[in-house]
Chains A and B, each alone.
Chain A
Amino acid sequence: MIRAAFTTLLSHWRRHPLQLAGLFLGLALATALWSGVQAINAEARQSYDRAAAVLSQDRLDSLAAGNGQDFDQKVFLDLRHAGWLVSPVLEGRWSHRGVPVRILGVDPFTLPSGSLPDAVTGQDRATDFLSAEGLAFAAPQTVDELTRIGAEGLPPLVAAEGMAPGILFVDIGVAQRLLRAEGQITRLLVAPDQPLRQRPLSEVAPALVRQTPVEQADMGALTGSFHLNLTAFGFLSFAVGLFIVHSAIGLAFEQRRPIFRTLRALGLPLRTLVGLLAAEIMGFALVAGIAGIALGYVIAAGLLPNVAATLRGLYGATVSGGLSLRPEWALAGLGMALAGAGAAAAQSLWRLARMPVLAPAQPRAWTRASARSLGWQTGLAGLLALIALAAALWGEGLVAGFVLLGALLLSAALVLPGALAMALALGERLSKGVIAQWFWADTRQQLPGLSLALMALLLALSANIGVGTMVSSFRLAFTAWLDQRLPSELYVTARTEDEARRLADWLAPRSDALLPIWKIDGTILGRPGEVYGVADHRTYPDHWPMLLGDQTVWQTLARGEGAIVNEQLWRRAGLHLGDPVPLPGGATRPLVGVYADYGNTRGQVIVGVADLVALYPDIDRLRYAIRTDPAKVPALRDAIEDAFRLPQDHMISQQEVKTISLMVFERTFAVTAALNVLTMGVAGFAMFMSLLTLSTMRLPQLAPVWALGLTRGRLARLELLRALLLAALTMVLAVPVGLLLAWVLLAVINVEAFGWRLPMHLFPKDWLWLGALALVAAALAAAWPAWRLSRLAPVHLLKVFADER
């Protein structure tokens, strides 16, 4: 019985291959977009974990200077003599031809056992590693990249599987040579088992502080908000895809009502029927889910290089540009496909479970909306709007931001059919001609069948407007900010302190001003941050606008009587003017101002340069900004190169910095833009599938109008017009929803995720462009069904009158 019933149920799909394709593609697309994003996130997390696991940083304590600076390796010897089992590490960034790597220098003799990466211990080249020339272990892709650019000065490279990309693992002596840090170390790894007797750290090395693994820089936490944003977009795309699935499943259930009735009448128990249909849906979800995962892999592989570049530019995080198939996201994608299909089918299965055996077998209910269901839907929309309002007023944190975003979008989607019905009723009341009247009334009647596709379109359009407004507003603010923040025409970095001094003496008469750019890295209010020093020069009051505080702050800084902080640190720490700002090493300065610092995820403090040097006498004094006539920059660069043999990559012009910054910016949003386009594509597909399936169900409504004297061609044109009208009305509603979305992104999500708030600008031309795109999508979606109608043989229309359908 079960086999026969199942075969009968499946026979529907043989007769409706297009519907099957819609269901399959909807599920596959939804799964693909979701699992694609998850694949990217998983790859990035894996890279962070690998990086954190290097030298067991994820489990060993370490000792580092309170000011975040490197320190003399003599301290290491002092500690060993005092009974401390510690091992020195020198860490630093090294780049060649624009390819940066993180150099990790270790002393293999004193390293706690089990601290070396497996990839390195597995290689039988210990002798070579300790030789004068040494060896450098790195991930295979890093070795390839460095070999490709022909990196000079490095020891022989050895590819080690399983190492985090972008890290070069060398002996500490080699690291000191490469980083030009002779006799310096960055931190000391503390072995887990220490002797019972040892002199206290405060006596032997008072400048060092002990850090637990949690306190050490955690790239996962730093980039968490970026990945959460990606996940949110993936989920939006998944939701849009599910609209197609819901629509296809609902239609298939309605069309099979005669089969259900017959099967039930012939003795198939209701429970068995529901079970068979559930099994059928899960079977489809499994197959489509696997296809979706494969498609997601392709999408992720296409997007990952951009994401990797963004993470490198924005956070300094190195993520592998290659993608591997990981069971965690593949299985999660399959789970989402099954759960999504289940959710989409739940309503239809519920209806079936409550359907009397002899319920009308005609597929009518699906295409008719009752005032009751519209009212129920609008009520739910109102409830969601209230949740959104509550999240906006009282919610805190990124999760509340996303609750606000989700509730807002879902509420708008649910309110759409009611709003469209009202607009169409108004059109009907205002129309004069009989065809116009019929057109409006008939369009209103089609709404239930199209509402899911239109909701998907609304979500896609709103997301486009919202994200577009955010990105364009960000771009305006960012470019204006770059103009202000980069007033100096040339930036130069000396190789040594001595060279820096000579360079400064040489440049003084050849430039309008020489502004030191000196900084230290350290922990500020519990997170990695940096402290800069600025000179007392009119460049700063002239160019740096303050979000809080006035232009007199620069004099205060010059007197060493205050500090200013960037917006993200100010917001995160909840500081007020006058509050003490704790600096690495224990000093504090009162807060006198706050400045915008877009694109920087770290907390930043600025004090007067003299104050900085007084606080941190060992600070590197290698970098300078040069004020000069922009036209003289190329000649000045050449002169510096000639005079000091300083490589060109130690100098960068204002224009180059701006170009790089804007490139990072554009790449940051390239992924979002790609997801936006994909979501629009999915929404267009949803509309096409709905129009196509409706076109076959609409014949009973169109045939009488045709019989009464409207030609098929005219009916087809009206069908096309109907799709355009509905898309246009949806677009009208999408504009305010999109703007609300943009506001949430700019004023809530960005502040929570990145720590900066941006002014919102409006871009009506973009809306017009998007509106035109929506109309084109609607016209394309409606073109084939309309064309089919115009060419439909009268015999098909006549079947309506002959009651043979």
Chain B
Amino acid sequence: MILSLTGVGKAYETGGTRVEVLRGVDLAIGPGETVALTGESGSGKSTLLHLCAGLDRADSGRIEVAGQDLTDAPDPRLSALRRQTVGLVFQQFNLIPSLDVAANLAFQARLAGRHDPDWIAALADRLGLSALMSRYPEQLSGGQQQRVAIGRALAIRPALLLADEPTGNLDEATGDAVMDLMLELGTEAGAGLLMVTHSPRLAARLGRRVHLAGGRLAA
């Protein structure tokens, strides 16, 4: 398994009230497998994704990514995991505004010490970014920015690709094109994919769909 969650629980304090967002979530994703995570707004989808990326810590249960237990892993190990193993794609793109497209594409790969210029060039070509390499994020459209974000995530050839509403800010046509690319390149790289989405149409394009409600997952 590339991602394994067993009895994962997470609660937040909001206005003095404890809200249990996740209550014993179990999930397993194998290499090359694609899973859509759906649920109501505020159901905890993003929280679950953040736990899988090692961006946040679970209160209970166990999370393993590529064989590494994240439960009590110290901060530097979680950082290393994100650098080396996990590709992240956000709804807000979250590119680095001070770097141009070429530097943004290569950023995580260089952090991970796995910079492969040929692979980056191939990704740029496939993502239709070759002509935009010297532009800065603010000079790109939303679809172009999201393609850069996908390229950045795939540049490390991640074992696990985590995407949080990657097409949420794009129109349908652009969203479909971006989705095609992500699925195609993700599959080629052999990465497991967990994607948060509200769209049943997009969820249907993935291999499996799980629904989060009341803090628990249902198939």
Contact = CB atoms under 8 A, between A and B. Distances in A.
Interface string A268-291: 000000000000000000000000
A768 interface: no
A707 B55 contact: yes
Interface string A417-447: 0000000000000000111011001101100
A798 B10 CA distance: 15
A438 B92 CA distance: 20
Interface stretch (B101-109, B116-124, B179-187, B204-212): B101-109
A371 to B, nearest CB: 12
Contacts of B84: 709
Contact of B75 (A441, A444, A711): A711
B82 A434 contact: no
B107 A795 contact: no
B99 A441 contact: yes
Interface in A762-803: 794-795, 797-798, 800-803
A705 interface: yes
B70 interface: no
B79 A711 contact: yes
Given A438-B99, A794-B56, A795-B56, A704 B94 contact: yes
Contact of A709 (B79, B92, B164): B79
B11 interface: no
Interface residues of B, number: 34
A708 interface: yes
A710 B111 CA distance: 8
B82 A800 contact: no
B62 interface: no
Contacts of A434: 103, 106-107, 110-111, 115
A444 B112 CA distance: 24
B107 A701 contact: no
Contact of A798 (B50, B80, B95, B97): B50
B98 A445 contact: yes
Contacts of A706: 79
A700 B96 CA distance: 9
B91 A704 contact: no
Contacts of B60: none
B200 interface: no
Given A798-B55, A801-B46, A705 B96 contact: yes
A703 B98 contact: no
Contacts of A435: 111
B65 interface: no
Given A708-B83, A802-B46, A438 B55 contact: no
A705 B99 CA distance: 12
B76 interface: yes
Nearest to B112: A709
Contacts of A701: 96-98
A709 B95 CA distance: 14
Contacts of B50: 794, 798, 801
Contact of A708 (B57, B76, B107, B115): B107
Interface residues of A, number: 30
A801 B99 CA distance: 19
Contacts of A709: 79-80, 82-84, 108, 111-112
A801 B164 contact: yes
Contact of A445 (B91, B92, B97): B97
Contacts of B164: 801
B53 interface: yes
Contacts of A442: 96, 98
Contact of B76 (A445, A711, A795): A711
A800 B96 CA distance: 13
A438 B46 contact: no
B135 to A, nearest CB: 14
Nearest to B95: A704
A801 B94 contact: yes
Given A438-B99, A711-B79, A800 B107 contact: no
**Which applies to chain A's interface (DSSP): helix, strand, loop or mixed?**
helix
A712 interface: yes
Interface in B39-98: 46, 50, 53, 55-57, 75-76, 79-80, 82-84, 88, 90-92, 94-98
Nearest to A443: B98
Nearest to A710: B79
Given A709-B79, A711-B75, A711-B79, A441 B111 contact: no
A797 B82 CA distance: 15
Nearest to A801: B90
Nearest to A793: B56
Nearest to A704: B94
Given A438-B107, A794-B55, A802-B46, A444 B98 contact: yes
Contact of B92 (A433, A441, A803): A803
A795 B82 CA distance: 17
Contacts of A445: 97-98
B197 to A, nearest CB: 15
Contacts of B98: 438, 441-442, 444-445, 701
A713 B56 CA distance: 16
B96 A704 contact: yes
A707 B49 CA distance: 12
Nearest to B12: A795
Interface in A692-730: 700-701, 703-713
A707 B111 contact: no
A453 to B, nearest CB: 19
Contacts of A794: 50, 55-57
Interface in A672-705: 700-701, 703-705
Interface in A452-497: none
Nearest to B57: A794
Interface in A211-252: none
A434 B83 CA distance: 13
B150 to A, nearest CB: 14
A705 B84 CA distance: 14
Contacts of A705: 96
A567 to B, nearest CB: 56
A437 B96 contact: no
Nearest to A445: B98
Most buried by B among A704, A712, A797: A704
B96 A438 contact: yes
Given A434-B106, A794-B56, A708 B91 contact: no
A118 B13 CA distance: 76
A781 B35 CA distance: 47
A662 to B, nearest CB: 54
A433 B115 CA distance: 11
Contact of A800 (B79, B92, B95, B115): B92
Contacts of B108: 708-709
Nearest to B152: A708
Contacts of B82: 707-709
A803 B91 contact: yes
Contacts of B107: 434, 438, 708
A706 B78 CA distance: 11
Contacts of A795: 12, 56
Interface string B180-202: 00000000000000000000000
Given A708-B107, A794-B50, A802-B46, 5 more contacts: A703-B94, A704-B95, A709-B84, A709-B112, A712-B75
27 contacts: A434-B103, A434-B115, A435-B111, A437-B103, A438-B103, A441-B99, A444-B98, A445-B97, A445-B98, A701-B98, A706-B79, A707-B88, A708-B83, A709-B79, A709-B80, A709-B83, A709-B111, A711-B75, A711-B76, A711-B79, A794-B55, A794-B57, A795-B12, A795-B56, A801-B92, A801-B164, A803-B91
Across the A-B interface, the 5 shortest Cβ-Cβ residue pairs: A709-B83, A434-B110, A441-B98, A704-B94, A445-B98
